Structure formats: C-alpha cells, structure tokens
Amino acid sequence: MDIGIVGLGRMGGNMVRRLARGGVRVTGWALEADVTQSLGEETGFVPPDSLEAMVSQIDAPRVVWVMVPAGAATESTIESLKGLLQPGDVVVDGGNSMFKDSIRHSEELAEAGIGFVDAGVSGGVWGLSEGYALMVGGAPAHVERVERFLRVLAPAPDRGWTNCGPAGSGHYVKMIHNGIEYGMMQAFAEGFALMEHRKEFDLDLAAIAESWRHGSVVRSWLLDLIAEFLDQDAALSGIAPFVSDSGEGRWTVIDSIEQGVPAPVITMAMAARFASQGKADYGNRMLAMMRNAFGGHAVKDAAGEGGQ
C-alpha cells in the first residue's frame, strides 16, 4: 500500500475513495470496525483490525494521513504512530489542529526521525467529487513525499493545493481560511435576513440568490449553496437558529489579538455564533432590567408578554 488513512468519517472516508479512484493503493483504519470493513470492501483494501495492522500494510517508507478530530484524538493517534513508525516515515495531520500544536508535533516526531506535514483540508462533503483545497506545511522533503497524494486529492493536479511553508503554516492558513469563511457566511446571512424582514416588497429570496450567481461581485460557492437551499424552502421552516463553531474561528480571533492586527468582521461573526447558541441570553436579560431600572421601561416575561 502507498498510504494509510486513520479516521474514516465523512472527510477521511471520502479521501480514501478519491485516492482509490485516482489509482493510489490506499488502506484505512477507524475505531469502528464496521466502518473499516465496509470501506475496505468498497475500495479494495483488506480491512486491518488495529492501527498497528494498518501500519504493517503500508510499504516503507510509509505515509500515514491522520483524519481524526483535533485535540485529544489527534494527540493520542500521533503518539501511537510515533511508537509504530520508523525513521523516514511521514505523518500527515489533516484535521483542524491548532497550528501551535502542529509545530510541537513536528518537533516531537523529528526526535524519532519521523517527518511531519500539517494539511489544512477544505471541501467538506463535496470533496469527493470536486476535490479538496489543501494547505500544507512542513519541510520540503516531507511535503515532496506526499505531493503525489495532494495532486490526486486536489481539484486538479496543478491547482487547489499549496505548500505554505514550514510545519504549522498549513494549519495556520486553514485557520485564517475558516475565519474568512465565518465573515462571509455572516454577511450573507445578515443581508438575506434584512430582505426577508422587508415584507412590503414580498421579495423572492431564492430568485434573488439565483440572479446574484451570474455576474454579481458576490457570486461564490456559498451563494450557489444558498440559492439551492432557498429554492427548496425559502422560509427555512423547521431550522433552529443555532450555529455551532468548530474552534478555528476562535483561534483566528485570538491570533488577531495576539498580533494586534484588527479583524473586526471575523470577531463579530464569531460573537454572532455565540449569540445563536444562547450565550447572549443572560446579558440581554440584564439589558432589559437595566432599562427598566433607570427608565421604568416595561420588560417582557419569559413567555414574551409585556414590554414595549
């Protein structure tokens, strides 16, 4: 086998499929035995029953690509691989790890003679068919070892992937990418919300989104997705106004503060996500009570009654 993928969720599993379709001899392993078994049958590898068994399937010098959640799962996986791999092998972390952790992982693996590449991966569930945007960091020799896989995973061999610089730079660029994504999403959401509330015009939001896709300066893949789901249900009925965050938006805001470089749009977009999660509720109740205390203004009860 040419490469092994650890973590076979939506991203990792589809990366195995895209690599296999591109002629790469790929194996994979997940904690869930049935997931490993099913994907092995689909793509043609013998399902290993352990991480150690997967490593043994890969031809040396080995490349192992890790696609597990950032944090504890990534830490434990890289620590396990450090004990299983040999000098000259390369570990790729394709999860959403903090770039400072990636710098540390590179240094720790280097002590054992193992290379490290951090890969920011964007593309989501569309990556299988459209290809992934790949932002990688690492020593040139280590990036060169994984380049053939990048060319298969990317939208095209000569575009959609870039070597950003030393270890940590790939995840740093992906972090900023996600911060920009937060700001773009928030701007679209606010604009469409304004139009939705202007009831006297009876605006067809789906038609507007579709028209903007052609020639407008705001045309984008995000707008393509907006047009598609508004065409299905412009009222977004049944959708809770709760927006989660993966962590990279927070890291981008923290980096802005650490560097003293203003990023007001990304920062406010992050705050809007917190508000959607109910984390502004207590503060808003305090605002209502302060207004009542100094001005005698009525407040609404929890049922929404009262107030002006």
Q: What's the 3-state SS for 109-138?
A: HHCCCCEEEEEEEECHHHHHHHCCEEEEEC
- What is the rounded distance in angstroms from the CA atom of residue 193 to the CA atom of residue 174? 28
Contact 236, 242 (CB under 8 A): no
Instruction: For residue 297, give the DSSP letter.
Output: -
Query: What H or E segment, with its residue span, contains residue 245?
Result: none
For residue 246, the model assigns a pLDDT of 81
Q: Where in the chain is the domain with CATH 3.40.50.720?
A: 3-174
Compute the C-alpha angle 271/69/128, nearest 5°: 100
For residue 79, the model assigns a pLDDT of 97
For residue 305, the model assigns a pLDDT of 66
CATH class of 3-174: alpha beta
- What is the rounded distance in angstroms from the CA atom of residue 269 to the CA atom of residue 276? 11
Beta strands 133-137 and 115-122 are antiparallel
For residue 297, the model assigns a pLDDT of 87
Contact 191, 199 (CB under 8 A): no
Contact 163, 184 (CB under 8 A): no
Contact 70, 93 (CB under 8 A): no
For residue 306, the model assigns a pLDDT of 65
CATH of 179-292, one of 3.40.50.10860, 3.40.640.10, 1.10.1040.10, 1.10.10.60: 1.10.1040.10
Q: Which residues are annotated as catalytic? A: 174, 181
Contact 180, 263 (CB under 8 A): no
Q: Where in the chain is the domain with CATH 1.10.1040.10?
A: 179-292
- Which stretches of the chain drop beneath a pLDDT of 70? 304-308
Length of the chain (residues): 308
